[in-house]
Amino acid sequence: MAGIGWAAGGLEERQEQSSFEARVFPILEGGHPADGGGYAVFRVGRTDIDPEEDVPRPGPETDANTASESRRGVF
């Protein structure tokens, strides 16, 4: 694919505590997938960070101080 250095099958990187996956798909004008697919968005964040601190120093991560949300949609 011109201009993108990934293999045609996409990109996968896995480390001890994280992973990243990316895929390349053809799109139609307007940004929608050519196959009429959908999308998913995931967000995870900490709830114990004071935005007024110059350099926040969060403590250990627990279920009590993290929040997550997700959504899916169809084009």
Instruction: Render pLDDT for 42-64 as a digit per residue (tens, 0 to 9).
Output: 999 999 998 899 998 888 989 99
Q: What is the pLDDT of residues 25-36, one digit of tens each?
A: 778 887 777 777
> Is 21 part of any domain?
yes
- pLDDT on residue 35: 78
CB 60, CB 66: distance < 8 Å? no
By residue range, what is the domain housing residue 43?
11-49+63-74
Considering the entire predicted model, what is its pTM? Answer: 0.46
pLDDT bucket at 71, cuts 50 / 70 / 90: very high
For residue 58, is it within any domain? no
C-alpha torsion sign, points 19, 23, 73, 38: negative
Residue 6 lies in a domain: no
**22 or 44, which is more confident?**
44
